[in-house]
A and B are shown apart, each in its own frame.
Chain A
Amino acid sequence: MKGDNIKKFFIYFFLALGAIVMVFPFYWMISGALKTAAEYNSYPPVWVPSNWLNFDNFVRAFQKAPFQTYFLNSLLVTLCSVTLTGIVTILGAFAFSRLRFPGRELIFSFLLAFMMVPFEMMVITNYQTVTKMGIINTIPVLIVPFTTSIFYTYILKNFFDTIPDSLYYSARIDGASNWKYLWRIMVPIAKPSLVTIMLLNAISSWNSFLWTSMVINSDKYRTIPLGLFAFMTEGGSDPKLQLAASTVSVLPMIILFLFARKYIVNGVARGGLKG
């Protein structure tokens, strides 16, 4: 009994320590964004801002750089990306899981092999492609290259594979087409898996930086991460404003995470990999 309690104490102690280490930067960012100049510069540091509703830093950050534009761009890119990638992933996974066509296994093995190639290696060729397509420095260039994801297709195909054949045959005998079966039966059943995929996709799309920084060079198409980076280097030397801007940029993801925590954790645990 006593040994159990000690063990428990240590487990909780280290979990709490871990949680603090993880959460503290976020806390520092948000609270810093709400501090006055005096509070921010005081020594020893002030841990808690005096007024939790002091949004001066936010207002000033938004005045210095068009964060609303960045924000809308990010939102647009993320929504389009999630929708398009979702549709392509569903169709691809269905084909690989349900349809019989020659070379299916071979093609799928190749795709899996391609998954090993890191994105950074394809940046150059992708860059050349989008230049030829003439979509460089536009919003679509942030969406089009990411509409197919082998990783998401792989996750969804695996899920589709677990749906028994008899459901398919049963639906076929009742007269359902492949199309109808996919959208009326398979997709609803795969909802948890799909939501996970879409969330992972939304997060990576929202945070995408390397690619965006290469293909976007005008201010009006900047997304949040790019805008934030530019803000740090070009405009604001005031760290309070940087903290305010950072807060705005991560807020949507934090809210998303709070609402959909279950799905994200499930997805990461099931996939065994990060998206």
Chain B
Amino acid sequence: MQVRIEHLTKKFGDAVAVSDFSMNFDDGKLVALLGPSGCGKSTTLNMLSGILPVTSGKIYFDDDDVTNTPPQDRGVGICFQNYALYPHMSVLENIAFPLEIKKVPKEERLAKAREMAKLVHVDMLLDRKPKELSGGQQQRVAIARALIKTPRLLLLDEPLSNLDARLRLEMREEIRRIQQETGVTTIFVTHDQEEAMSICDKIVLMKDGYLQQEDKPQTLYDDPHNLFVANFLGNPPINNLYGTIQNGRFVLEDGSASIKIDNPNAKEGEKVVMGIRAESVTISKSGDHDFEAVIKQRYTMGKEELAFLNIGNQVIRVYLSSDYTYDVGEKVFLNLRQKGVFLFDQETGERI
């Protein structure tokens, strides 16, 4: 099912939680609703499920306007951050509960519940109570319960945030698998960019109730529309260098270095931020270069080696090549690639 929202707005008193949000969620896709804490992700999700009434705007499921449809008639399955399992019911009863409400005969609903349990791999735990399950298992049960009435739309509100790092990796693959096996349109709320980048077909990035950008994860990474998007995605985070445009060159704030830019939109004298992805910098000991820098500190992350460098009085982080060894305090030369280097307006944060 395709979900379309138009000019969706939610106010709590004077506080605006979601502002003029328009968006298409394509049929059968897994979409991440990404953003920092408090940006309105849960609010958006709750409006889609019908728990929260909208202040203004419209919600369409396919061609039906469901803006004022009560939650139980929308055909959505939801899985909350704390899983919201019923503590007094067994796993099997929990999963079967939505069908119990629909008055499906007992045999039939238990059979269906077993089937769902198998799908999410908890079929050996059917008689346990929720508190006898691990976080990951509880989460699977919650997903099974959300899926049992074959919802048209599956909503997951930070389903992984209570899990430890390892289980998180595992469960996000599971969510991807379950979503692909069932083909259900899914919206996945998270504030972890890596989670969103790794499993989703599309990322919708929000900030302070406003949509920032929505696109395929790679596109968002390669072509951010503003400084917030560029800063939010990627690990290590993108480097920010502050400076001004002078004579078609980007000049560092302290004037210590400059680089030629061929961006026709850059206006003379404009204060800008240059965003540079760590992997877009090549480091060398000699030859032609865009910047000179001094190695300040080195560290390793997995098999990669990174370093903080000083350019003038600003700091950037780059990958070190394994061809040479670099010492702290050593002077090195940096070259920038075309890809992964962006200019933003310092005031508005907009891409230039």
Contacts and interface: CB of A to CB of B under 8 A. Distances in A.
A interacts with B: yes
Interface of A: 164, 166-167, 169-176, 180, 185, 188-189, 191
B87 interface: yes
B349 interface: no
Contacts of A166: 80-82, 84
B84 A164 contact: yes
B8 to A, nearest CB: 19
A164 B82 CA distance: 9
Interface string B55-80: 00000000000000001101011101
Nearest to B157: A166
A172 B72 contact: yes
A167 B101 contact: no
B97 interface: yes
Contact of A189 (B81, B82, B88, B145): B88
Interface residues of B, number: 23
Contacts of B74: 173
B88 A173 contact: no
Nearest to B50: A173
Closest 10 CB pairs of A and B: A175-B72, A166-B84, A174-B98, A166-B80, A170-B84, A188-B88, A173-B71, A175-B101, A167-B84, A169-B51
Given A169-B49, A171-B97, A176-B72, 18 more contacts: A164-B82, A164-B84, A166-B84, A167-B86, A169-B46, A169-B71, A170-B84, A172-B71, A173-B49, A173-B50, A173-B72, A173-B74, A173-B76, A173-B77, A173-B78, A174-B97, A174-B98, A189-B87
A65 B241 CA distance: 99
30 contacts: A164-B82, A164-B84, A166-B82, A166-B84, A167-B84, A167-B86, A169-B46, A169-B49, A169-B71, A169-B78, A169-B80, A170-B84, A170-B145, A171-B97, A171-B101, A172-B51, A173-B49, A173-B51, A173-B74, A173-B76, A173-B77, A173-B78, A174-B97, A174-B149, A175-B101, A176-B72, A180-B101, A185-B86, A189-B88, A191-B88
A169 B88 CA distance: 17
A167 B51 CA distance: 12
Contacts of B81: 166
Nearest to A191: B88
A98 to B, nearest CB: 14
Contacts of B97: 171, 174
B102 interface: yes
Nearest to A185: B86
Nearest to A180: B101
B80 A170 contact: yes
Nearest to B74: A173
A205 B97 CA distance: 38
Contacts of B98: 174-175
A175 B49 CA distance: 12
Contacts of A180: 101
A265 B20 CA distance: 55
Question: Which of A167, A174, A180 has the largest number of chain B CB atoms within 10 A?
Answer: A174
Interface string B221-243: 00000000000000000000000
A175 B74 CA distance: 10
Interface string B81-95: 110101110000000
A175 B51 CA distance: 12
Contacts of A185: 86
Contacts of A167: 84, 86
A94 to B, nearest CB: 16
Contacts of B82: 164, 166
A189 B86 contact: yes
Nearest to B77: A173
Interface string B36-48: 0000000000100
Contacts of A175: 72, 98, 101-102
A189 to B, nearest CB: 6
Nearest to B78: A173
Question: Which of A164, A170, A188, A191 has the largest number of chain B CB atoms within 10 A?
Answer: A170
B7 to A, nearest CB: 24
Question: Which of B46, B78, B145 has the largest number of chain A CB atoms within 10 A?
Answer: B78
A20 B266 CA distance: 92
A49 B170 CA distance: 72
Interface string B152-175: 000000000000000000000000
A188 B102 CA distance: 20
Contacts of B80: 166, 169-170
Contacts of A169: 46, 49, 51, 71, 78, 80, 84
A196 B74 CA distance: 40
B347 to A, nearest CB: 41
A170 B45 CA distance: 13
Nearest to B102: A175
Nearest to A170: B84
B312 to A, nearest CB: 51
